[in-house]
Homo-oligomer: A and B are copies of this chain.
Amino acid sequence: MPRTEEANQRIREEQRAKILDAAWRAFAKKGTAATMAEVAAEADVSYGLVYRYFSSKEAIFKALVEQMLQSGVLRVQRLLDQPGTPGERLTSLITKILEARRERSEIFLLFQHVMSDETMSEDVRKRLQERGQAYYDGMRQLIVEAQATGEVVADDPDQLVVALMAYLDGLSRLAARESEMLKEHFPDPEIVLRMLKP
């Protein structure tokens, strides 16, 4: 007697999730260089099964990127519409970003991998590019507002955003490398906020 449809449905969802999880680990570690065999091994699944769930390596990447985009981690917008003065909102935003980078560093690492891998499909990179731009724009806007209220230093806002982004990206890389240094001495948000202090 065949399995019930729901049972199959469940199996499919679980396996798909299991494989994507494994892919996260594999790709975050090695980027595009990770092999399908590694993904399969990491998921504790046979080689061929990966292809039952994803038509190609590229397809897995796309699914990961999709998860990344859905996850909300990369969405600044929702963090902008908060109560408080611009400066308070900026502080809150950066604090939250730092938490996210610390806890879900794979996401940012994969993001960087994809962006710097020229073999990645233009399609996928473009979507991430746009999200990155939105991220940048949101941050810039908040800074400009905070400058108006005098809560942030009156430097070139673009330089400030670039500095902020560089800092955050650098932290992600350190976090991904699982550096002991970082774990024990994760910099207090206070420190980066000083870059913006008037």
Which residues does A use to contact B, with CB under 8 Å?
2, 29-33, 46, 112, 115-119, 136, 153, 155-156, 158-163, 165-171, 173-174, 176-177, 181-182, 184-188, 190-192, 194-197
Contact = CB atoms under 8 A, between A and B. Distances in A.
Contacts of A31: 116
Contacts of A116: 31, 173, 176-177
Contacts of A158: 181, 184-185
Taken together, the copies of this chain in the complex come to 4
Nearest to A171: B166
Nearest to A163: B187
A167 B170 CA distance: 6
A177 B129 CA distance: 12
Contact of A186 (B33, B46, B159, B195): B159
A187 B174 contact: no
B167 A181 contact: no
A187 B170 contact: no
